[in-house]
Amino acid sequence: MKVRFWGTRGSLPIALTAADVRAKVGAALRGASGRRFADDAELDAYLDGLDFAVAGTYGGHTSCVEIETGAAEYVLCDMGSGLRPFGQAAIARHGAGAPQTYHVFVSHVHWDHIMGLPFFTPAYIPGNRIVFYGGHAGLEAALRRQQEQPSFPVGFSTFGAAIEFVHLVPGRPIEAAGMRVEAKLQRHSGDSYAYRFEHGGRTLVYSTDSEHKLADPAETQGFVDFFRAADVVIFDAMYSLAESISVKADWGHSSNIVGVELCQAAGVGHLCLFHHEPINGDETLSRILAETRRYEAISRVGPAMQVSTAYDGMEIDL
């Protein structure tokens, strides 16, 4: 299995500003002061050695994650604004005239997780097949409503692809695209659902927009069991621990610290922080990653757990 991130932000898309780009260029130039590069290879080596917050960016698209299993059919989690570049890449790979099947698992129907659908070009191409999976009874109605006047000029009925909806029930696993998939209800306004994907002896958990209060032992144990021995857990770490238990309590999101504790208890191999707060820039996200890794190290009681922060374009091999 391979995980590919097309969108990692929460709430709304963001973009680097001119000031942001200038700051990155300035930092790179200051670091190169007095150096000479004999060729492009030396320049590339210098750039590769820079901090990610200087040489790169975590990106700005909202939630969209691709799961690759080696099969011909596509599998996605959520349809944030990252769905648009994913669709463009799929068409570039196959051509518009080659029919494809897309399995889309929707965590919930808040706008940042479905806003990419109206701009998903494969949905407009006859011959394609799109299967939407979710635990919300109103999933289809929400997707149709998003494209009603006056919100959007192109109606849902304009889609040329064959559209299907599959209602999922927690505790009742299904088979989809060659994977065993199980849903779990999460604490979030209007409810959200996590997904556990198992294929070829590997396990991926996608858990975003979930608030973990850790006050109910049975609820906490339920998530530990759901995460159990997963190779990778993609986890909503939108807030700091202080924010999640004070000013932003009951806002439906979790923290990096809680992610470490749950995943350590579950014996997870790799925790990937996700659904980044829009106000957190690249330097802040890099600092949070470093702090999370330090916390994982000092709280560790078993094998080391890998910790990373998702960014647009990132790939993880399971």
User: Residues 241-252: pLDDT tens digits?
Assistant: 666 555 555 656
How long is the chain?
318
Tell me the C-alpha to C-alpha distance, in Å, between residue 202 and each of 104, 105, 221, 232, 256. 20, 18, 22, 9, 24
pLDDT at 131: 98
Global pTM reads: 0.95
* Averaged pLDDT, 116-131: 98
Distance in angstroms (rounded) separating the CA atoms of residues 81 and 161: 20
pLDDT at 214: 75
Is the per-residue pLDDT at 188 higher than 60? yes
Strand-by-strand arrangement of the 306-309 sheet: 174-176, 179-186, 192-199, 202-207, 232-236, 270-274, 306-309
* Averaged pLDDT, 78-103: 96
User: Of the candidates 310, 208, 221, 295, which has an alpha carbon nearest to the alpha carbon of residue 260?
Assistant: 295
Residues 6+ positions from 94 with CB-CB distance below 8 Å: 100
pLDDT over 90 for what percent of the chain? Answer: 89
Is the per-residue pLDDT at 231 higher than 80? yes
Q: Whole-angstrom distance between the N-terminal and C-terminal Cα of the chain? A: 5
Tell me the C-alpha to C-alpha distance, in Å, between residue 145 and each of 111, 141, 142, 287. 11, 6, 5, 39
In the chain, what is the greatest distance between 2 CA atoms, to the nearest angstrom? 63
Residues 6+ positions from 262 with CB-CB distance below 8 Å: 212, 220, 223, 224, 227, 235
pLDDT at 253: 76
Is the per-residue pLDDT at 208 higher than 90? yes
DSSP state of 250: T
* Beta-bridge partners for 68: 2
12 pLDDT tier (thresholds 50, 70, 90) = very high
Domains of the chain: 2-16+57-317 (3.60.15.10), 18-53 (no CATH)
pLDDT at 246: 55
